[in-house]
């Protein structure tokens, strides 16, 4: 189970200062009154950014591990929330998903693979933002130009980070990754429909550039 680690540090500072050593989780989330031999359970590395580690705890009675995920990190996807948001911005401003994927991933990745990579992130972020609009009564300042319209615009920059930092752990457990920590087995709703604003179509045939 992932729990947000509230931090104002950047990823670079977190790694340089090895801040996972000072991260603390004083009580077991399953047994707040104690009595379950809750204890620290080492750390584990993330694929990206390189050198970053996550502090972890274990409850033997509940057979559950708990990880403190810094606010700047994406959940269930490698990398930073800011990097994913940058990819979404490219997708929203490009003339096609193919052009966006080529720009984001570069020449070292095949175009079909790059499209799948980008489409997964676009869909994941859209699902997360849709969930925020469903479960949050008042959107945090800076994520919504007109709160009555319930709009969240990633073009404003650092929207995902502001949401992660401002939403409670209870709310984040209702939001799917990469923003929140909702387990896939509890996710509801059909696959995302077409969203032309973000360059999405319903699984179009892959094209080649040439």
User: Model confidence over 107-160: pLDDT tens digits?
Assistant: 778 888 899 999 999 999 999 999 998 988 777 655 554 343 345 555 566 889
pLDDT tens profile 12-45: 999 999 999 999 998 999 999 988 999 999 999 9
Give the per-residue pLDDT at 140: 66
Is pLDDT of 199 > 90? Answer: no
2-5 and 64-70 as β-strands: parallel, antiparallel, unpaired? parallel
pLDDT digits (tens, 9 = 90+) for 31-85: 999 889 999 999 999 999 999 999 999 999 999 999 999 999 999 999 999 999 9
Q: Mean pLDDT across the stretch 185-196?
A: 40
pTM (2 decimals)? Answer: 0.77
């Amino acid at each position: 189970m992932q729990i947000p680690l509230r931090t104002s540090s950047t990823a670079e500072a977190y790694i340089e200062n090895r801040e996972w050593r000072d991260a603390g989780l004083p009580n077991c989330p399953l047994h707040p009154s104690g009595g379950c031999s809750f204890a620290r359970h080492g750390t584990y590395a993330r694929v990206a950014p390189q050198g970053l580690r996550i502090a972890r705890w274990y409850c033997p009675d509940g057979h559950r591990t708990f990880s403190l995920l810094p606010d700047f990190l994406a959940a269930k996807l490698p990398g930073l929330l800011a990097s994913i948001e940058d990819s979404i911005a490219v997708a929203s401003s490009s003339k096609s998903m193919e052009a966006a994927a080529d720009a984001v991933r570069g020449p070292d990745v095949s175009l079909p693979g790059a499209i799948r990579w980008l489409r997964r992130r676009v869909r994941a972020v859209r699902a997360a933002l849709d969930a925020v609009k469903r479960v949050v009564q008042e959107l945090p300042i800076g994520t919504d130009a007109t709160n009555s319209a319930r709009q969240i615009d990633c073009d404003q920059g650092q929207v995902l980070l502001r949401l992660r930092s401002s939403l409670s752990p209870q709310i984040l457990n209702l939001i799917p990754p990469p923003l929140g920590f909702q387990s896939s087995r509890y996710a509801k709703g059909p696959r995302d429909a077409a969203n032309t604003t973000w360059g999405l179509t319903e699984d179009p045939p892959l094209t080649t550039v040439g």
